Chains A and B, each alone.
Chain A
């Protein structure tokens, strides 16, 4: 009876990922005892994780509902860039500039959602187009070399020795993992991903929820973009480039399925940690940066293959146990 229990646990992505992370950290602290498990390395790692973790929350919710958003990287850039630009070039009061940046993000999400649900454009096409358009607008916009006083406080101020983005991330991850697993509003996304037609016939307002999903995803990308700009104190040209790949990879590693209906916020969060931990290890191991993407790709394929393998085994066992039940002699 023990084996099915373990097999079931091995199917739980939050468990397997946590286990892998613990092993990775353990091994690394043995290899680099003086440098790896230090406050400075860990706090840099956490800071890098923070912004991506905010973005992955929205992506996970979309993936649960069976769709995704490729434009997060561009929205991230435009939101952060626009807020900085307004504050720097027009001397706009920082909170107002930030609100404008977030407002634009939400508007982009709304347009994505509307065109996908009402016009019926495939989400891949729609968000790919948005990725291009929004990136173009960001490129057209003048860049900012230094941020006005106060703007950078958001990314660099500290609480208990750790910078603000970390606290933003922790609170958002906790809030959303509770909401997504327990709240009726978010529970409906699992139904949409499970079978969209059935969800609609069961009275779930599928289109409205999808639009909200795209708005939320864009909003969170905007929040992350602003946090990142404020932390760096500048708006680099490559801001947010390729982010969608990293985020989707993290979410898939964290247990999402492109078919929808599956995944947890904690899983996505662990996925981001995993990806950044690997980058961190590659730096420690003096592997050249060009290798990073290759290694991510291989990890993704390996993780998915393992997943399929475990599922197949579990399914065979399940059908057998079910047969036992159905084949009992009838009274």
Chain B
């Protein structure tokens, strides 16, 4: 075995009262893709923060190419050849791709003036090495899709010529196609000798891309294994410390139609027609940008449709804004929790009560105890982990935030619930709990419209799958017919198979 490029030996990090990392060791070989797995709170971020110079370990040593180093701050980590692509976007929207990539080291002419021709040609070269020629370095970042932005993020990290590249949840918002592009880039980097540390909640990806994997649980090292020796089940057992209950599927679909959409047309979708029955989980699949969320937003009255009809429980209704939709018993858990879902600085109780303020109030006045008891019950039912319901939302983990967003609608007991990417950036444990929750809702008779870019999720949950391509419905698949390749087939706009 080749000598390790990076070796972390018995790293411990103690935050007062808790050992975030307990004698964790980790080694990274030259030209390998090494996956780091663990639930939220397992210590992955602490470890990556130590590697990128944001935090200092209390105990343990770091060796780079066999030499002991101290990564005193992010700059020193960069100078030693370690670059990190964080989960949070670090790009400035109204600056060009080139300016974003070279933020910290603009090429300059005498007098400190920016050498724009040089800047653009360097960017072009960099993008070429990533095999991306379709991007103009002058394009403003805000006009790019989120995947393209992610690629710019990676280019930015690569501009520093790192020996070690750390990627934290890079595919959280990507579709299968886009993930494939990213993987191609990563494989090429590996071929050129770059070592990659890859963090993802999507375990299937690890099998596709990684050579080895290391598992952390509760700050403790669980072992490093060649990916070929592992299965998803064995990884989960190491991450969670137990087997997750097998999820069994039984259809809860009933006869009565709760929501019926007829020839709905909007800015980004045309002639959408479907019916949603009580107890049914109907998935709306398709690539990002296919118009899935737009359909949901039209049903909810956020961006009302231009043409077409919406029928709720057999009655034609007109929905002009979200309050209208809520009145008709429709709820919506939006994608992108941070931006559209949570009230970060408000309490968990406030976050859950927002939809039902008027019904919780007496004569318009609302007191904490009126809110607290129903919220408390819900928090227990959903198993939201929090010291108190008066905890600020921002301090909860992603999975718990997502459960709270579902709870917000459960307070109203809607007859139709639209969930848009309900498990984005959520760890496996919480994911399983959210699946169970959605199934339980369906069993109670709620009709669920599921929008998801994760095909395994679509296949696991739904009774029926509708596929959108470029704003039109291209296919409908029953649970029995639906497979990943079948969905992808329609999602890429190909015509129906001839039998």
Contacts and interface: CB of A to CB of B under 8 A. Distances in A.
A320 B18 contact: yes
B346 A203 contact: no
A202 B355 contact: yes
Contacts of A320: 15-18
A194 B343 contact: yes
Contact of A323 (B18, B346, B361): B18
Interface in A281-331: 318-327, 329-330
A191 B354 contact: yes
A176 B18 CA distance: 44
Interface in B222-262: 240-242
A201 interface: yes
B326 A203 contact: yes
A262 interface: yes
Given A182-B366, A190-B346, A194-B346, A323 B354 contact: no
Nearest to B392: A318
How many B residues touch the partner, as a band? 35 or more
Given A199-B354, A330-B240, A184 B361 contact: yes
A321 B387 contact: yes
Interface residues of A, number: 33
A183 B367 CA distance: 9
A197 interface: yes
Contacts of B385: 325-326
Contacts of A319: 15, 395
A191 B353 CA distance: 11
Contacts of A326: 41, 385, 397
Contacts of B242: 330
A329 B218 contact: yes
B103 to A, nearest CB: 25
Contacts of A329: 218
B304 interface: no
A54 B358 CA distance: 28
Contacts of A204: 323, 354
A198 interface: yes
A198 B341 contact: yes
B337 to A, nearest CB: 9
Interface in B276-329: 300, 302, 321-323, 325-326
A158 interface: no
B200 to A, nearest CB: 20
B469 interface: no
A91 interface: no
A324 B17 contact: yes
Contacts of A13: none
Of A194, A195, A329, most B-chain CB atoms within 10 Å: A195
Contacts of B38: none
Contacts of B334: 198, 201
A188 interface: yes
B408 to A, nearest CB: 7
A327 B219 contact: yes
B15 A191 contact: no
B332 interface: yes
Given A184-B366, A194-B344, A322-B387, A203 B322 contact: yes
Contacts of A185: 364
Interface in A114-129: none
Interface of A: 182-185, 187-188, 190-191, 194-195, 197-205, 261-262, 318-327, 329-330
| Ranked 8 nearest A-B pairs via Cβ | A194-B343, A203-B326, A323-B18, A326-B41, A203-B322, A202-B354, A184-B361, A197-B340
